Structure 1
Amino acid sequence: MELIVAKFGGTSIGNGKRIRKAAQSVVNEFMKGKKVVVVVSAINKTTDDLVLITDESIGKEVTEKQLAEILSMGERTSIRVFSSVLESLGVKSEYIDPSHDLWPVITDNNYGKAKINFDKTEEKSKGLLDLLEQGIIPVICGFLGKSEDGQVTTLGRGGSDVTAFLLGHCLNADDVIIVTDVNGVMSTDPRKISDAEKLDYISVDEMRDLATHGAQILHPHALRFKDPEINAKIIGFEKGDLSDPGTAIVGPFEDSIGKSVSLHPEPISVVALVGEDLLNQIGLLAKMTTLVADANINIYGISAGQNSITLFLDKCDADEAYHLLHNLVIAEDSLSSISLGRDIAMLTMINPDFIETPGVITEITNPLKEQGINIVEISSSQTAIVLFINWEDGKVAYDLIKGVL
């Protein structure tokens, strides 16, 4: 019998009518003979209201333990309402919060951003199968955990998404369905570009990067629990239909891709163009990259400043690019000179946790400083950090950084 884990976000259960529509969509799948586990967030804006009330009444004196208990009331209320609506529609349901004997998500004692004990969670999750065999639909709090000594914890931002994929994995579900306020993943924000198109599918890696860069659809941490054998999709609540195709999330989360350090195997060369007021020269960068692209030369990095623009290229291509770009220097009044620099090593670090790790660049660069290794250039995004250093220091730097991460 097919098993579904359906997670409803706060907006999708934002009022009574939406809750009933969501519950009806669950009942519809149940009546098709499917087993359904429901995960719900706090009703729209409830958590924000609880945070505001706590801040105004207690302020900085609130403890993490107290705050976790207070914030848990949003999800605890949601599951009671949702489960009651399911029963009003003629099916058996049981709400499960951290006080319930069958509560599955076990964590450490970090109240505000708890770390999941996967083995114990997997063991506890099996208790939900007994309810499902009895034809009961369990409705479970998203976002929350319970420490081994019985204290309520929270999983941090996107915790309900984490709960859904985690339970999907532990229960060997066939489908994990994320119900939100959009009809799937769009080519861009439809509120900004009206002709944005819905994607039929998106890979786990693409979804993770999209979420990490600000798309408020799915939390990237949740994708760590995306099992390759489990179907997953994002759908909108408006249709009230869990069978809606939405956008499928395909592929597994690859930990080697999610967190890695790599040293480019060949030397990188530096080509630097010097001039005046370069940042205000419209189209200058496009002219540079077009020249290089037309010669089928790849660019690994660009550093732009007021008086210089530096390109990082494969050493084997650098001399050709150097001559091509020299012609541009002659033709452009804003450019005065070009140089071809020394051999450079390129180290790339990828980790979706970078965005939420204060001081991560310091952690990476301090070991290099202690060994007297100079950094020629550094670039970073929300999930990646790239270091360019002297070629002869590359292997030592690689070993140092791998030890840190």
Structure 2
Amino acid sequence: MDLIVAKFGGTSVGDGSRIKKAAQSVVNEYMKGKQVVVVVSAVNKTTDDLIGLSNEAIGSNLTDNQKAEIMAMGELTSSRLFSATVESLGVKSQFIDPYNELWPIMTDSNALEAKIDFATTNKMFKGIEELLNQGIIPVICGFLGKGPSGEITTLGRGGSDVSAFLIGHCLDANEVIIVTDVEGVMSTDPNKIEEAELLDEISVEEMWDLATHGAQVLHPHALKYKDPLISAKIINFAYGDLSVKGTRITGPFEGDMTKSVSLYKNPISLIALVGDGMLKKSGLLAKLTACLASNNINIFGISAGQNSMTVFVEKQDSQKAYRLLHTLVIEDDVFSSLSLAEDTSMITIVSPDFAEETPGIISKITEPLRKNHINIIEISSSQTAIVVYVKLEDGKKAFELLKEVLE
């Protein structure tokens, strides 16, 4: 028998009519002979309202445990509403919250950013399986966990999506469906460009990059829990139909999204071009990259300042690149001069945590290098990666130090 995990976001259960439509979509799949587990978020804006109320009433005296209990009220309410609505449509249902003995998601004692105890959690799903085998639809609170002493914890940002993917994995589901207020993943924001098109599918890696750069469809943290063997899709609640196409998320969580530190095997050379007010001139970057690309020279990085641009290429290409860019400097009045700097080592640090939960990571990286008298030639960062250039002779030592930082 096919098993679906359907997660309904806050807007999907934003009022009574939406709750009924969502419940009906679940019942429809159940009547097709499928087992369905529902994961439900708090009604739209409920959690924010509860936090606002508690801040006004209690302020800084509010403990983390108290805050978790208060924040949980949104999911406690929506799970009861959703389960009762399913039963009103003629199908047995049971809401499952952390106060219930069948509650499956166990965590550590961190009230607001709890880490999941996977071994214990996996064992706890036997109770949910028994409900399913009895023809009951479980409605499970998203975002919440239970700590070692039975206290309510929260899973932090993207918690309800985490719940859905985790439950799908533990129950060996056929499909995880994220029901939200968009059609799926679009080629860009349709509110900004009307011609935006719905994507049939997107890889986990692509979804990760979109999410870390501002797309609101799915929180990047949740993608860590996506089982590569389980189908997943994002659909719009407006259809009231869990079988609609939406956008399918494909592949496992791997590649650049795993934590790693790597020292590039070859030396990297820096070529600096200077000119007055370069940032105000259009087309300079295109000229620079086209010049090197047409000669098959790979660019490892570019940094730009008010009056300069620095290009990073492999040492074996540096002399050729240097001469080509010198020709560009002579031909274009915007550039005044260029220089070929000393060779460097390039160290790349990758972590999915950078985008969401690692404030101060740049200082954590630079401090051990400073203490060991290693000068940073250049540093660049994105949502998930930081690249550091140091003197060539300092590369191996810096690499070992930065591995310790990541660990």
Alignment of 1:370 with 2:385, yes or no, is no
Cα deviation digits, residues 42-75 of structure 1 (max 9, x gap): 0011111111111111111111111111110000
Deviation at 1:371, TM superposition (A): 1.5
C-alpha separation between the residues in 1 aligned to 2:263 and 2:234? 36
The one-letter code matched in structure 2 to 1:37 is V
Corresponding residue of 1:223: 223
Cα deviation digits, residues 87-112 of structure 1 (max 9, x gap): 01100000011000000111111111
The one-letter code matched in structure 2 to 1:388 is Y
Equivalent positions of 1:248-287 (< 5 A) are 248-254=248-254, 257-287=257-287
When structure 1 is superposed on structure 2, of 143-152 and 330-339 the one drifting more is: 330-339
- Report if aligned partners of 2:258, 2:350 keep a CA contact under 8 Å in 1: yes
Equivalent positions of 1:20-169 (< 5 A) are 20-169=20-169
TM (normalized to structure 2)? 0.97
Corresponding residue of 1:292: 292
When structure 1 is superposed on structure 2, of 282-291 and 60-69 the one drifting more is: 282-291
SS of 1:238 mapped into structure 2: helix
Corresponding residue of 1:357: 358
Equivalent positions of 1:163-182 (< 5 A) are 163-182=163-182
Cα deviation digits, residues 233-269 of structure 1 (max 9, x gap): 1111111111112111111112774211111111111
Alignment of 1:200 with 2:207, yes or no, is no
The one-letter code matched in structure 2 to 1:322 is Y
The one-letter code matched in structure 1 to 2:369 is L
Corresponding residue of 1:6: 6
Question: Cα RMSD (Å) of the superposition?
Answer: 1.1
The one-letter code matched in structure 1 to 2:388 is L
The one-letter code matched in structure 2 to 1:393 is D
Shift in CA distance, 256/125, structure 1 to aligned 2, threshold 3 Å: farther
When structure 1 is superposed on structure 2, of 172-181 and 280-289 the one drifting more is: 280-289
SS of 2:317 mapped into structure 1: helix
Cα deviation digits, residues 313-338 of structure 1 (max 9, x gap): 11122212111111121122222111
C-alpha separation between the residues in 1 aligned to 2:164 and 2:31? 22
Deviation at 1:403, TM superposition (A): 1.7
C-alpha separation between the residues in 1 aligned to 2:95 and 2:166? 18
Cα deviation digits, residues 7-33 of structure 1 (max 9, x gap): 000011111111111111101110111
C-alpha separation between the residues in 1 aligned to 2:371 and 2:339? 30
Cα deviation digits, residues 252-288 of structure 1 (max 9, x gap): 1127742111111111111111121111122112211
Q: Percent identity?
A: 64
Mind listing any 5+ residue stretches in structure 2 that lack a counterpart? none
Number of matched residues?
405
Corresponding residue of 1:191: 191
SS of 1:177 mapped into structure 2: strand
The one-letter code matched in structure 1 to 2:19 is I
The one-letter code matched in structure 1 to 2:219 is H
Deviation at 1:306, TM superposition (A): 1.6
Corresponding residue of 1:392: 393
The one-letter code matched in structure 2 to 1:402 is K
Deviation at 1:397, TM superposition (A): 1.2
When structure 1 is superposed on structure 2, of 72-81 and 256-265 the one drifting more is: 256-265
The one-letter code matched in structure 1 to 2:40 is V
SS of 1:335 mapped into structure 2: coil
C-alpha separation between the residues in 2 aligned to 1:256 and 1:219? 17
Alignment of 1:380 with 2:376, yes or no, is no
When structure 1 is superposed on structure 2, of 140-149 and 318-327 the one drifting more is: 318-327
SS of 1:339 mapped into structure 2: strand
Cα deviation digits, residues 129-188 of structure 1 (max 9, x gap): 000000000000000111010101111111000000011111111111100001111111
TM (normalized to structure 1)? 0.98
Corresponding residue of 1:313: 313
SS of 1:244 mapped into structure 2: coil
The one-letter code matched in structure 1 to 2:372 is Q
The one-letter code matched in structure 1 to 2:368 is P
C-alpha separation between the residues in 2 aligned to 1:318 and 1:11? 54
Corresponding residue of 2:331: 331
Mind listing any 5+ residue stretches in structure 1 that lack a counterpart? none
C-alpha separation between the residues in 1 aligned to 2:182 and 2:265? 43
When structure 1 is superposed on structure 2, of 187-196 and 390-399 the one drifting more is: 390-399
